[in-house]
Structure 1
Amino acid sequence: MPLLPRAPAPIVADDLEELLAVVMESLAVIKHDAIPWLRLVAEAWDHGAIAPAALFPAPGGVAAQIVETIAGSSAEMAAFLACGSLRPALEAYFAEVRSNLGLHDWALGVCPFCGAPAAFSDVLEDGRRRLACHLCGGGWFFPRTKCPFCASERSQDLLRLEPESQDQGYLIIACGGCRGYLKELDRRVRWNGQSALVEDWGSPHLDLIAHRAGYRRPVPVLIGLAQPI
């Protein structure tokens, strides 16, 4: 079990208030039809009907409690609020325990710290694959021959969708079994790449390729929030 459900972070509303407001304003700009829903979220937040813990990952997904509580919620919009507001607080909360995670201590495709789904994949200089969590900034090693979403190791399920030639080092790793996908950066090729979060949110064209091929992922996709894909 990830650490967060066993040791909930003592995050209070005041810790997130300012950043959450910015994230909600950003969502209203890129997705105008979300404004009525955002008003409901703001009202529930102000009245204490939802608390910071409602943004945490749960078996139903990131911010599943908001989806269950607020009418008109979508999993992607709720997860966007969580990913945009929780990271600084969770990074600080987990800072002193990151180094305790051993190489073989975790074998799941969700973050060992907060429990959010893997959001990006890096291939490091030594060829190992490191998955990244956008919610808390965590990272962990994971087999390159295994789907992080359904754990399939069937070679016929695991696919590589290669973008245009100018995107050297970038791949879309997809699973034909669960139809999930991750974007991956081979840092042996793209040695000057940025952080996983920057590389992910800076490459929406790769999400477009994956979505048009019928694949999805359980984390917010900016281009999907802005327009149907």
Structure 2
Amino acid sequence: MTSEWLHHIDRLISQRPFSKQILEAYRELVVLMTESEPPPPQVALDEKLRPIRRTQGFPLFQRSELPVDIEGSRRLLERFFEHLSNSSRSDREAMGTALLKARERPDGAERLLRSFLSEDVPGMAVFCGETGLELKVVEFLAMNALKPSLIQCGRAYSKHPDLKLWDRGYCPLCGSQPAISSIDKSGKRALHCSLCGTQWGYPRLKCPFCAEEEHSKLGYFRDERLEYVRVDYCHGCERYVKVIDLRSVEEPAPMELENLSTIYLDVLAVERGFS
């Protein structure tokens, strides 16, 4: 990661004061993340199996197989705990407990990261029980501890030909679901992975979660505070995804930051019964 993220966070704080609190808190973590320099992944793909996996709907990697720098991510996670244990957060004592656990048992912090990658909720719950931290907090910190390495993975495989041929609603690199989507200058839609940040093309009038295409079941809503952001929803599966129209954005931020700074739209979507 680079200091460019800090520039975008500062800009978004001034442009979206309603997201100031969450962006300022995240900025503190990004400062630590920019100091992490994971090595690029060195994994060769099996070219014989690759086309078979794609046609059968398998991503290049399973989440648990992603070539991430676990040791570097573990050290970054420890720094998160240390920083947050010295903050004014209500769970700072639990953060201190997590820091002690991470230092005393590095393998436990490593298991936590691997549990997050494999979506092993019971495995993460063990760490929560030992420290008193909430599961959502642990998931958020684990994801961001892995983020510098995940970004490296996304960059390393972003030019892979399979990504251009992918037509599914989940990530072609790791199989995760999209966190947000965008419309580019030419009017084409892209989905953005919630885990590794990979983006891939997808039809505008099609639900990425259940592939519904019947227009009567698809809809959207906007909020007057950000006219160029809307929430697409599907009555077929009752899911939603936010859409950033980049044709109306002078300086787009990384999609992770666009997603975080529009979190109030997630609240509105949930209040309307979508998930």
Q: Normalised by the size of structure 1, how large is the TM-score? A: 0.74
Q: Which of 175, 181, 184 is 1:115 aligned to?
A: 175
Q: Is the 8 A contact 1:120 1:196 kept in 2?
A: yes
SS of the equivalent of 1:19 reads: helix
One-letter amino acid matched to 2:113: P
Q: Which of 79, 82, 87 is 2:147 aligned to?
A: 87
Write out aligned runs for 1:214-229 (5 A). 214-216=273-275
Determine the C-alpha separation between the residues in 2 that align with 1:106 and 1:23. 35
Write out aligned runs for 1:75-224 (5 A). 76-102=136-162, 104-164=164-224, 166-216=225-275
TM-aligned CA distance change 1:15 to 1:212, over 3 Å? same
One-letter amino acid matched to 1:137: G
**What is the deviation of 1:15?**
1.0
Q: Provide, for residues 187-218 of structure 1, a one-character-per-residue CA deviation record: whole Å limited to 9, x for no partner.
A: 112243322111111122212221221222xx
Q: Is the 8 A contact 1:120 1:200 kept in 2?
A: yes
Q: Provide, for residues 148-173 of structure 1, a one-character-per-residue CA deviation record: whole Å limited to 9, x for no partner.
A: 12222222221101111x41211011
Q: Does 1:17 align with 2:74?
A: yes
**What is the deviation of 1:74?**
6.8
Greater Cα offset, 114-123 or 21-30 = 21-30
Q: Normalised by the size of structure 2, how large is the TM-score? A: 0.63
**What is the deviation of 1:63?**
5.3
Q: Is the 8 A contact 2:125 2:135 kept in 1?
A: no
Determine the C-alpha separation between the residues in 1 that align with 2:239 and 2:112. 30
One-letter amino acid matched to 1:198: L
Determine the C-alpha separation between the residues in 1 that align with 2:258 and 2:175. 21
SS of the equivalent of 2:216 reads: coil
Determine the C-alpha separation between the residues in 1 that align with 2:243 and 2:83. 26
Determine the C-alpha separation between the residues in 2 that align with 1:108 and 1:70. 34
Match of 2:101 in 1: 43
SS of the equivalent of 1:161 reads: strand
SS of the equivalent of 1:93 reads: helix
TM-aligned CA distance change 1:102 to 1:48, over 3 Å? closer
Show structure 1 runs of 4+ deviating over 6 A: 25-31
One-letter amino acid matched to 2:242: K
Count of residues in correspondence between the two structures? 211
**Identity percentage of aligned residues:** 27
Q: Provide, for residues 40-99 of structure 1, a one-character-per-residue CA deviation record: whole Å limited to 9, x for no partner.
A: 79738925241533221x4xxx45463465566876445313331212112223433211
Provide structure 1 residue ranges, at least 5 long, that are not aligned to the other structure.
217-229
Q: Look at both structures and tell me which one has the larger radius of gyration over its CA atoms.
A: 2
Determine the C-alpha separation between the residues in 2 that align with 1:161 and 1:25. 40
Q: Is the 8 A contact 2:115 2:123 kept in 1?
A: yes
TM-aligned CA distance change 1:121 to 1:27, over 3 Å? farther
Q: Is the 8 A contact 2:212 2:236 kept in 1?
A: yes
Q: Is the 8 A contact 1:13 1:51 kept in 2?
A: no
SS of the equivalent of 1:4 reads: coil
TM-aligned CA distance change 1:71 to 1:200, over 3 Å? closer
**What is the deviation of 1:8?**
2.2
Q: Which of 101, 106, 116 is 1:55 aligned to?
A: 116
Greater Cα offset, 62-71 or 149-158 = 62-71
Q: Is the 8 A contact 1:168 1:190 kept in 2?
A: no
Q: Is the 8 A contact 1:174 1:180 kept in 2?
A: yes
Q: Which has the higher helix share?
A: 2
